[in-house]
Structure 1
Amino acid sequence: NLIKNAVESMPDGGKVDITAKAESDGILVTIRDEGVGIPEAVMKRIGEPFLTTKEKGTGLGLMVTFNILENHNGTIRVDSQPEKGTVFHIMFPAK
């Protein structure tokens, strides 16, 4: 879902970078796009059910993604800048 959203945020094309690296407290996966960014008003509510910026979106994708991560004791942090893109930082605990 995060990769699909990243691609869809770049209507004129662009690059999506996906990295994974081991850290002392888990595995950090980073998904970075060169898209339009997430508006500040949406960032404040990101992950809420039925919140969407897409014409035909349901607003459930990020909510489900956030819930899956939470159920696996993972965390997610989002950084976004208008017209510069968005970065999702996902931390999975290492056992």
Structure 2
Amino acid sequence: MKEINEHQKWLKNFYQSREWYELSPFVRMNFIAEEIGELARAVRAIEIGRDHPGESKKTPEQLDDNLHEELSDLLDQVLVLASKYNISGEELFKYSEHKLHKRFNF
């Protein structure tokens, strides 16, 4: 299983090979917003369904696959943005846990 920092390095190399990494963090934020919208659509489809004439009804497996896709797309965009600021995925995990321990004495 690939560790978060390995995946982040792989993403950076992949994005550089496509000349996508050079886009500014400001532009990257727009991609994050787009992915949040796609994730919202995936969750809505699971939770309350979608009744859209241009879309076919999806199976539970297709809905689950789409949820995985959108969550991973969002995570990838966050990791690419973090790498632009030299922040590793592991640092983000540690920061999150530290913040919550401190805030909630957990």
TM class, shorter-chain normalised? Answer: under 0.3
Point out which structure has higher relative CO (alpha carbons under 8 A, 6+ apart).
2
TM-score (norm 2): 0.26
Answer 1 or 2: which has greater helix percent.
2
Per the normalisation by structure 1, the TM-score is 0.27
